[in-house]
């Protein structure tokens, strides 16, 4: 049996996205979803990065579901979504990656 290689990655900042989501039935995800990255910060847990949805004009928002390609309807949920940014090529943990999750630890 061959094991998966692992590597220890680090959180290096925060990435902000313009995100739209709507409806049901986008299998296997449940709702339709699309995100466009807008800003990176080297500050960890920068949960204000990117401002508010009303700060961005309509033409900057995603136009179709990233999973099934359905076009975004006129009435849709918009948010500036933030995620932790890691020192990987994609900025996300990949299969086999390990990282410390201090937000899960008991601080006592």
Reduce the secondary structure of the chain to three states and give it as a string: CCCCCCEECCEEEEEEEEEEEEEEEECCCEEEEEEEEEEEECCCCCCCCCCCHHHCCHHHCCCECCCCCCECCCCCEEEEEEEEEECCCCCCCCCCEECCCHHHCCCC
Phi/psi of residue 25, nearest 5 degrees: 90, 5
Per-residue pLDDT of 51-106, as tens digits, reads 999 999 999 999 999 999 999 998 899 999 999 999 999 999 999 999 988 767 66
Please give the model's pTM, rounded to 2 decimal places: 0.84
Neighbouring CB atoms inside 10 A of 95's CB total 7
**Quick one: pLDDT band at residue 24, thresholds 50, 70, 90?**
confident
Residue 107 has pLDDT above 70, yes or no: no
Q: Distances from the Cα of 35 to the Cαs of 28, 62, 74, 100, in angstroms?
A: 17, 6, 16, 26
């Amino acid at each position: 049996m061959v094991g998966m290689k692992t590597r220890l990655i680090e959180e290096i900042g925060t990435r902000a996205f313009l995100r739209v989501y709507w409806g049901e039935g986008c299998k296997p995800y449940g709702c339709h979803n699309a995100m466009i990255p807008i800003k990176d910060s080297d500050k960890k847990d920068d949960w204000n990065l990117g401002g508010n949805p009303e700060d961005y004009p309509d033409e900057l928002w995603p136009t179709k579901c990233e999973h099934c390609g359905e076009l975004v309807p006129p009435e849709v949920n918009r948010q500036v979504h933030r995620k932790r940014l890691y020192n990987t090529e994609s900025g996300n943990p990949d299969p086999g990656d390990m990282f410390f999750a201090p937000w899960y630890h008991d601080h006592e």
